[in-house]
Amino acid sequence: MAHSHGKHADFETLREQAIALRRAGHSLRQIRDELKIFNNDVLNRLVKGEPPPEWTKRPRARDDLREKARELRLQGWTYDRIEAELGCSRSSVSLWVRDLPRPTPRYTPEEQRALMREGLAARRAAEREKREGMKVAALREVGELTDRELFMAGVALYWAEGAKSKPYDRRERAVFVNSDPGVIRTYLAWLDLLGVDRARLAFRVLIHESADVEAAHRHWADIAEVDAAVFAKPTLKRHNPKTVRKNTGDDYHGCLVIAVARSAHLYNRIEGWWKGIVAQAQARLG
Note down pLDDT in tens along the chain; length 286 residues.
444 444 556 888 888 998 999 888 888 888 888 888 888 788 888 888 888 877 666 556 678 888 999 999 998 888 888 888 888 888 889 999 998 888 877 778 888 899 899 989 999 999 999 999 999 999 999 999 999 999 999 999 999 999 999 888 888 999 999 999 999 999 999 999 999 999 999 999 999 998 999 999 999 999 999 999 999 999 998 877 666 556 667 889 999 999 999 999 999 999 999 999 999 999 999 7
pTM: predicted TM-score of the whole model, two decimal places = 0.60
201-208 sheet: strands from edge to edge: 175-178, 255-260, 201-208, 235-237
Cα dihedral 64/68/74/80 (nearest 10): -130
Q: Within 10 A of 4 (CB to CB), how many other CB atoms are there?
A: 7
What was the pLDDT predicted at 4? Answer: 43
What was the pLDDT predicted at 123? Answer: 92
Backbone angles phi, psi at 188, to 5 degrees: -65, -40
The CA distance from 47 to 71, in Å, is 36
Q: Is the dihedral of CA 51, 54, 57, 61 positive or negative?
A: positive
> What is the Cα gyration radius of the chain?
42
What was the pLDDT predicted at 47? Answer: 87
Contacts 24+ apart (CB under 8 A), 85-88: none
The CA distance from 31 to 25, in Å, is 10
Q: Where are the domains of the chain?
A: 8-56, 61-97, 147-285
The CA distance from 50 to 31, in Å, is 13
